[in-house]
Amino acid sequence: MARFDYYAMPDGSGFWVDCQTELMEHYATRFVAPLVPSEDAPKPSATPLNPRFEIAGRDYELLTQFAGTIPVSELGRPVGTLESQRYAIINALDFLISGV
């Protein structure tokens, strides 16, 4: 499992983004944040809390405020990675926790 990989949600409504460091991959859970189509995201979105990413020509927003843990067994196989957007995701997590 790699940090910033994303996985399809079982209901097909979006993705889970793995935000947990690989140093903690021995745990049976992963810290994830939902990534949903922008049209389904709560309004107004709060930048930088809710960065927007394009996947396969469609805009998605990271709902950092809804982050939590889920069992690794529920993730399945990664669909893709947002590693190139690591700083936007880290900034969103920092904003959620520290407000800056």
pLDDT of residue 100: 78
Which residue carries 């709902």 as its tokens?
Answer: 63
**CA terminus-to-terminus distance, the chain:** 28
Cβ burial of 100 (10 Å; 0-12, 13-18, 19+) is: exposed
Say which amino acid occupies 87: Y
Q: Would the pLDDT of 22 be above 90?
A: no
Q: Write out pLDDT tens, residues 30-84.
A: 999 999 999 999 887 777 899 999 999 999 999 999 999 999 999 999 999 999 9
pLDDT of residue 94: 95
Question: What's the CATH fold of domain 5-98?
Answer: SH3 type barrels. (2.30.30)
| pTM for the structure as a whole | 0.92
pLDDT of residue 24: 87
What are the phi and psi torsion angles at 85 (to 5°)? -105, 20
